[in-house]
Amino acid sequence: MDKLKKVLSGQDNNDDLNVLQAVGDATTLSWGTRVKCFIACFVFGVFCSVLGSCLLWLPHSGLAVFAVLYTFGNIASLASTMFLMGPLNQLKRMCEKTRVLATVIMLVCLVLTLCAAFWWKKNGIALLFCVLQFLAFAWYGLSYIPFARDAVIKLFSACLK
């Protein structure tokens, strides 16, 4: 914080330190804070998804409420990992060759679920996009576990024979 004060007041003579570095130094979170924020955001995401599942059986608007809460739960769960890795590193990892297809499908399904629930008001389509969201999110998550995708592919190929 002292570095930021020196830079903003013009008292710092260090040419290597610019304002962006000072702001970055002042806004970094400790590891303990990152873990707490990750847990809070992840628990909120799971809570939204479970609450949406419980409200699925409401008459008239239950399916739309489920789709919205499930989508917000997935967004919160995805955002929670940014606390552990940092936002830029998370975005880089999401766009790696092994994850880019799952990431694109997941994000498109997130948007289409909300469109189906709010704009088109088609509950069946919203449910379909929720299922696709789940599958893409699971495939995305499996990419972080070594050989998990290969094991799933072998399992399904063995079941189909």
Alpha-carbon gap, residue 68 to 87, rounded angstroms: 24
Please name the helix (run of DSSP H) or strand (run of DSSP E) that holds residue 19, with its range, or none: helix 19-27
Instruction: Quote the pTM value.
Output: 0.73
Give yes or no for residue 71 having a pLDDT over 60. yes
Look-up of token digits 């008001």: 121
73 and 49 Cβ atoms separated by less than 8 Å: yes
pLDDT recorded at residue 64 = 85
Instruction: Work out the average pLDDT over 30-36.
Output: 90
Alpha-carbon gap, residue 18 to 23, rounded angstroms: 9
Confidence of residue 21 (pLDDT cuts 50, 70, 90): low
Give yes or no for residue 157 having a pLDDT over 90. yes
Instruction: Work out the average pLDDT over 45-64.
Output: 88
Mean pLDDT across the chain = 85
* Least confident window among 37-46, 56-65, 99-108: 56-65
Segments making up each domain of the chain, as ranges: 2-160
Alpha-carbon gap, residue 29 to 37, rounded angstroms: 10
What percent helix, strand, coil does the chain show, rounded to 5? 80, 0, 20
